[in-house]
Amino acid sequence: MRNKTTALIVPALLMVAVLARFALAADEVHEGKVLSVGTNSITVNDEKDGDNDAFAVTSDTKITMNGKSAKLNEIQAGDRAKITATQKGDKLVAKEIAARSPE
């Protein structure tokens, strides 16, 4: 009986571990210069791959400017931003935006 229970539990735990890893891997971090800010979007020139990435910004997006809570319209072109985003369908949705004034 113990072997049957173990045979069921071990694969279940492995499946949970694999799914958790994929869930965590879904977040991507993008960092670079802010090119533009819209009503519900922000576009950044991503330093890592050199392309321009546009992000949808929702009411759930946590936004900070120079370490303090902020609104999207406080971020301006030329600022630096680190954006944690997740892919939803064909667009990137910002979960967190940490912006700072250029140095």
Place of tokens 């979960």: 95
Prediction pTM value: 0.74
DSSP class of 30: E
Q: Right CATH number for 28-100 from 3.40.50.2000, 2.40.50.320, 2.60.40.420, 1.10.1040.10?
A: 2.40.50.320
Structure confidence at residue 49 (pLDDT): 86
Query: Tens-of-pLDDT digits for all 103 residues of the chain?
Result: 556 666 667 666 666 655 555 554 469 999 999 999 999 999 999 998 899 999 999 999 999 999 999 999 999 999 999 999 999 989 999 999 999 998 7
Domain boundaries, the chain: 28-100
Residue 56 · residue 42 · CB < 8 Å: no
Residue 83 · residue 28 · CB < 8 Å: no
Structure confidence at residue 21 (pLDDT): 52
